[in-house]
Chain A
Amino acid sequence: MNDTRVPWLRPVVALFVGAVFFMPLYLVLVNVFKHGADIVPDPAGLPSPPTMDNIAAVLSRADNLFVYGLVNSVAVTAISITILTVLSAMLGHYIARSRHLLAKVVMVTLLCGLLIPSPVILAPITMVLRALGLMSTAPGLILVNLGYYVPFGVLLFMGFVKSVPLELEEAARLDGASTFRTFWQVVFPLLRPASASVLIFLGVWIWNDFLTPLIVLGPDSGTTVTVGVYRAIGEHQSDFGSVFAFMFLATLPILVFYLALQSSFVKGLTGGAIKG
């Protein structure tokens, strides 16, 4: 495409492709604020006047599917990503700095974990959780998240630790700081871009995860909002308004979380990606 000869072509094509791509999301956004009866005759029209009935209906469900799900999702996601950041930062630091053979073995073992699809290990995971008495509990789900996502966190932190000059750590150690203190007061603050990437990547993934919470939390003891979306469509397939409102509300928190940290997210994505 030649910008100098046909200057209007690129923006027009870009806008058109973007609009077609965005169409499904647009349909959700406008129909959240429409009455159910108005959706089918005119799905693409703007809501006039916009109504909050669908959203109110989801928030005041008799079974509290959304509210309980939201509490579970926030708790599981926040606790998981906080612990994951700490654990994988320390483990990544250990692997990046240690020249011991054991560290190499640990690294290769963890990297293999990146390739494992969760359905493959889900059945035995439920057995492990039952043995620990943690099946169908939020702490159980958090522990599963820790084990499953720690390789990704380690991968990101490993690369960043190598960019921190070793001299800084040596200086801190000569000043009498312990390895632990050196890490937390000297190295960890310098790893902030990596920490942001890990928090956002894993925050989005854990919030959006479907199969693991579906199986681990089970049908009885509450769900996450993502599983809640699935439950909600089972009940009122034809009531598009409330289904859309449920999805809208279930997505809003993670979207806000993501947008708040977006710049470092994309930076982390490309930094880790291109430099390998």
Chain B
Amino acid sequence: MTHTRHGVRGGDPPAAHRPPLPSGPTPLRDRPPRDRPPRGRRRVSGRITTFALFALPGLLAYLLFVLVPIGMTAYYSMTNRNPFNPPTKWVGLRNYAELLGDAEFLKALANTVVVTVIVMVLANVGGLLIAQLLDRPTRLYVALRGVFFTPVVLSSVVVSVIWQVVLTDDGLLNSALRGLGVEDPPGWLSDPGIALYTIAWVITWQMLGFCVVVYLAGLQGVPRELQEAAAIDGCGPLARFRNVTWPMLAPALTINTVMLLITGFKAYDQIQVITNGGPGTGTTTTMAFQVVQTSFNGNRVGYGSAMAAVMLVLVACVSVLVLRVLQRREVTR
């Protein structure tokens, strides 16, 4: 180990402190200390081998199934490609122009924003409250953490089916409400004014446990001494939360918000399983749903690609922006 260090770092101790060398020839020591040329060449070829061996396999898969498809999306977004209606022709930016006046797409965009904002706010607030509630080390609270985390491990298809059974007009919730004497319980999934919020609720319910776990981990990182010092200085529980706990939870807030943002933006499964875009026309469509509908059910791959490109740019810009803002908060705390 020590040999390694001296060899690599070049930190040989001064000759005066060196223990006497063992007698006898030590051929290695007589060699000139540097023989750069062969070593250098070996290093370059070694670097290429390392790249080919370590990086290339993973990168090839990424290239083939992510980067190339993105390029194709960008290219097809400027064509009228439709596999059942050849030939494919170049149409320039006409698809994008059409998007600007496409009421269905704009509705889907607005729905996506509504769902994402609701999920982001509800899951963050709920997750933080429940994390505060469960921030005790006894067995009861550890078990309850497991309860809240369970939906995170479930498929969103399963979660959607469960809530569909609970929330349909004659579903379990409304039967229970009628049993309690509510004459006309709301049509959670059949009322066009409510269905979108129901979808947002289903996504929130599934993501809540994720936020709880991340906030709990953040709370573990808040030193007790800080809380106690603030209490001695006369801070009440609310002031302590605002001035001590909350700033220290900044990294947890960043992770949760970005995670929820991405989840909300790409919401698809819940819509496909629960409402299929309805009730009515497009009351619960999202951008992801609209992209898949247009490309696969409508076969308008060119137009769907333009939608996908817009969606991708929006997701990327908003995520990076939110990340920047939240991370600046972390640094300046």
Contacts and interface: CB of A to CB of B under 8 A. Distances in A.
A65 interface: no
Nearest to B218: A274
Interface stretch (A13-21, A47-55, A190-198): A13-21
Contacts of A68: none
A186 interface: no
Interface string B36-64: 00000000001101110111011101111
A70 interface: no
B21 interface: no
Contacts of B121: none
B157 A208 contact: yes
A274 B217 contact: yes
A273 interface: yes
Contact of B53 (A167, A179, A250, A255): A179
Interface in A251-276: 251, 254-255, 258, 266, 269-270, 273-274, 276
B308 A121 contact: yes
Interface of B: 1, 3-5, 7-8, 46-47, 49-51, 53-55, 57-59, 61-70, 72-73, 76, 130, 132-134, 136, 140-141, 144, 147-148, 150-151, 153-158, 161-166, 172, 175, 205, 208, 213-214, 217-218, 220-221, 237, 251-252, 255, 262, 265-266, 268-269, 272-273, 288, 291-292, 295-296, 301, 304-305, 308-309, 311-312, 315-316, 319-320
Contacts of A230: 157, 272-273
B148 to A, nearest CB: 6
Given A143-B61, A215-B292, 19 more contacts: A27-B166, A113-B62, A113-B66, A116-B70, A120-B308, A122-B292, A123-B76, A128-B68, A143-B65, A148-B65, A171-B4, A183-B54, A210-B269, A229-B158, A230-B157, A247-B158, A269-B213, A273-B214, A274-B217
Contacts of A21: 147-148, 205, 208
A229 B66 CA distance: 28
A243 B161 CA distance: 9
Contacts of B3: 174
A164 interface: no
A115 B70 contact: no
B43 to A, nearest CB: 11
B55 A94 contact: yes
Given A100-B47, A148-B65, A211-B269, A120 B73 contact: yes
Interface string A117-138: 1111111110110000000000
A128 B268 contact: no
Given A127-B72, A211-B269, A274 B221 contact: yes
Size class of the A contact interface (CB-based, 8 Å)? 35 or more
Interface in A10-57: 10-11, 13-15, 17-18, 21-22, 24-25, 27-28, 40, 43-44
A230 to B, nearest CB: 5
Given A94-B55, A207-B155, A11 B140 contact: yes
A94 B51 contact: yes
B66 A119 contact: no
Interface of A: 1-2, 10-11, 13-15, 17-18, 21-22, 24-25, 27-28, 40, 43-44, 87-88, 90-91, 93-95, 98, 100, 102-103, 106, 109-110, 112-113, 115-125, 127-128, 143-144, 146-148, 150-151, 154, 167, 170-171, 174, 179-180, 183, 204, 207-211, 215, 226-227, 229-230, 233, 240, 243-244, 247, 250-251, 254-255, 258, 266, 269-270, 273-274, 276
Q: Which of B67, B69, B255, B292 has the most CB of A within 10 A?
A: B69
B46 A17 contact: no
Given A17-B133, A116-B312, A229-B157, A167 B5 contact: yes
A14 B141 contact: yes
Contacts of A144: 65
